[in-house]
Amino acid sequence: MRALKGLARALNDHGQYKYKHPESVVDFVVIGGGVVGLAIAQRLSESFPSKSTFLLERHTRVGEEISSRNSEVIHSGLYYPSESLKTTLCLRGRDLMYERCKKHNIPFRQTGKLVVARSDQRSYVEGLHAKSLKLKWPGHPWLDSDQTVLSTQLLSGEEVREMEPDLSTDIVAGLWCPQTGIVDSHSFMESLEKDIMDSENGSLVFATNVVRIDRHQKTTASTEDGWVVQASSGGDSYAILARNVINASGLSSVTVRNSILPKSKRIPMFYAKGSYASYHGPGVSKIKHLIYPCPYTGPNAHAFESLGTHLTLDLQGKIRFGPDLEWIDPPESEITGTVEDGDFWTKELIPDSSKLPEIHRAVTSYLPGVVLEGLRPDDVGIRPKLISPGRGFQDFLFHKDYPSVDAERNSNNLMISLLGIESPGLTSSLAIAEIIIEGMLKGR
């Protein structure tokens, strides 16, 4: 998170990064080597082989932040409002991901998943089922597909326990969703990385932190509109003129974007931490599928904030429970970058056992045989949220900025900012790349 502060610092008027004149011109700069930035840079280098694409990542390898701290679930596209980008891009991304996994030998398994309901939650799974039957393929002009969107099945308590005998007898209904699966997200990211490296005009640049971005307007016939991207690497900083910028910087994307906006237009950001626990012990001996409870929708929580503390399997069959949901409140100084070290974030990401009793309580509501002693703290991840607790549904947000009125009129020289790319961001990554390239950057 150090870069987040570096960036914010660059933005304020007394910042240490002074404007620099660009030394070279490139076609595309993608900020952030998480799964989303990788998917975008991969597709850019494939779709525009003669143009230069640079993916800038502040760490020394890909996927060091949100993309390495998640459930690795290929979501089916079940939960979100039908017309939302989350639904559209999850459905499309899911299929693109299965295709890519098969083609590139990326480990994955289409496990299917069960959403299980107690008697007071029956209407929730019935509602999900009714919605899934009505889902249609998104009608993008570059897409033609009429295959099954979702083929969910409503099950009785007995049928659910036939599939998963370890489930509680309190479970009276379930929704079977065969399209859900799991993927080795690191192999997936490596395959994208390899494609970029192998392309002639695509490059991955590590240990490079974007610290400042300025609009660049053409002054004479010899210059052009674009964005001056200043990056710092090993103490040195340099600037390049990017014709287009795609910002996929995850948790920092708001900070980055805010840097070019007046205070009144800045986007607030909220952080929701999710902790996992690994499990070895009784009560799960026959588990074969992913199992999700119904999301908690009590007075202080909204179903869209988290899918509930669920059971995931990895490709080795290891069982994990999580993630739970805890809103965290970084001190103002951490967000605005007025302090030097990243202690707050580092501490937040250390797994600790204080969450285990609550995770145990949540899990035993559907798997009664699970014992507290078998739980161990596992990964911790942070969801970048655009809305505050209890505020309901927030879609992915793709924000466009232009360096000049002229560029805006011609839809040229975009800076596209990807905001709020929380779950199902991994599943949607290839579809996010598709919509950005086919829908926003091509045919202008």
Structure tokens at 385: 């949220």
- Listed in sequence order, the residues at least 6 apart from 198 whose beta carbon sits closer than 8 Å to its beta carbon are none
Stretch that binds ligand NAG, among 84-92, 141-149, 256-264, 365-373 (CB under 6 A): 256-264
Is residue 208 a contact point for ligand NAG (CB under 6 A)?
no
| Per rule CB under 6 A, count of chain residues that contact ligand FAD | 43
- Whether the CB-CB separation of 384 and 66 falls below 8 Å is answered with yes
- Whether the CB-CB separation of 246 and 29 falls below 8 Å is answered with yes
Site for ligand FAD in 232-271 (CB under 6 A): 248-252
- For residue 200, the partner it binds in ligand NAG, ligand FAD, none, with Cβ less than 5 to 8 A by kind, is ligand NAG
Site for ligand NAG in 161-200 (CB under 6 A): 200
Instruction: Render 152-207 in DSSP notation, one character per residue.
Output: -EEEEHHHHHHH-TTS-TT--EEEEETT-EEE-HHHHHHHHHHHHHHSSSEEEE-S
- What distance in Å separates the CA atoms of residue 284 and residue 273, rounded to the nearest whole number? 26
Closest CB 389 distance from ligand FAD, rounded Å: 16
Site for ligand FAD in 43-102 (CB under 6 A): 56-59, 63-67, 69-73, 75
- For residue 213, the partner it binds in ligand NAG, ligand FAD, none, with Cβ less than 5 to 8 A by kind, is ligand NAG
Residue 264 burial by Cβ neighbours in a 10 Å radius (0-12, 13-18, 19+): exposed
Of 380, 377, 347, 375, give the one whose Cα is nearest residue 363: 375
- What distance in Å separates the CA atoms of residue 36 and residue 252, rounded to the nearest whole number? 14
Closest CB 316 distance from ligand NAG, rounded Å: 36
Site for ligand NAG in 364-423 (CB under 6 A): 399, 417-419
With tokens 């490596």, the residue in question is 190
Closest CB 18 distance from ligand FAD, rounded Å: 17
Structure tokens at 132: 């899934």
Angle between the N-to-C axes of helices 425-434 and 85-103, in degrees from 0 to 180, rounded to the nearest 10: 90
- What distance in Å separates the CA atoms of residue 441 and residue 142, rounded to the nearest whole number? 13
- What distance in Å separates the CA atoms of residue 191 and residue 96, rounded to the nearest whole number? 14
Is residue 268 a contact point for ligand NAG (CB under 6 A)?
no
Question: What are the CA-CA distances from residue 430 to residues 44, 93, 98, 265, 433 (Å)?
Answer: 12, 5, 11, 30, 5
Site string for ligand FAD, 266-305 (x = CB under 6 A): --------x-------------------------------
Closest CB 52 distance from ligand NAG, rounded Å: 7
| Per rule CB under 6 A, count of chain residues that contact ligand NAG | 19
Stretch that binds ligand NAG, among 13-21, 253-261, 304-312, 340-348 (CB under 6 A): 253-261
H or E stretch covering 409? helix 405-409
Out of 91, 254, 436, 441, the residue judged to bind ligand NAG by CB under 6 A:
254
* DSSP bridge pairs for 212: 230
Out of 87, 247, 428, 429, the residue judged to bind ligand NAG by CB under 6 A:
247
Question: What are the CA-CA distances from residue 421 to residues 20, 36, 150, 161 (Å)?
Answer: 31, 9, 23, 35
Is residue 422 a contact point for ligand FAD (CB under 6 A)?
yes
Closest CB 38 distance from ligand NAG, rounded Å: 16
Is residue 257 a contact point for ligand NAG (CB under 6 A)?
yes
Is residue 49 a contact point for ligand NAG (CB under 6 A)?
yes
Residue 389: CA atoms inside 13 Å, Cβ hemisphere, count?
13
Is residue 440 a contact point for ligand NAG (CB under 6 A)?
no
Cβ proximity to ligand NAG, 30 vs 319, nearer residue: 30
- What distance in Å separates the CA atoms of residue 415 and residue 429, rounded to the nearest whole number? 18
Of 103, 248, 111, give the one whose Cα is nearest residue 183: 111
Cβ proximity to ligand NAG, 163 vs 260, nearer residue: 260
- For residue 50, the partner it binds in ligand NAG, ligand FAD, none, with Cβ less than 5 to 8 A by kind, is ligand NAG
Is residue 259 a contact point for ligand NAG (CB under 6 A)?
yes
- For residue 250, the partner it binds in ligand FAD, ligand NAG, none, with Cβ less than 5 to 8 A by kind, is ligand FAD
With tokens 């549904």, the residue in question is 393
- For residue 121, the partner it binds in ligand NAG, ligand FAD, none, with Cβ less than 5 to 8 A by kind, is none
Residues that bind ligand FAD (CB under 6 A): 3, 7, 31-37, 56-59, 63-67, 69-73, 75, 209-210, 248-252, 274, 323, 381-383, 421-427
Residues that bind ligand NAG (CB under 6 A): 31, 49-50, 200-201, 210, 213, 247, 249, 253-254, 256-257, 259-260, 399, 417-419
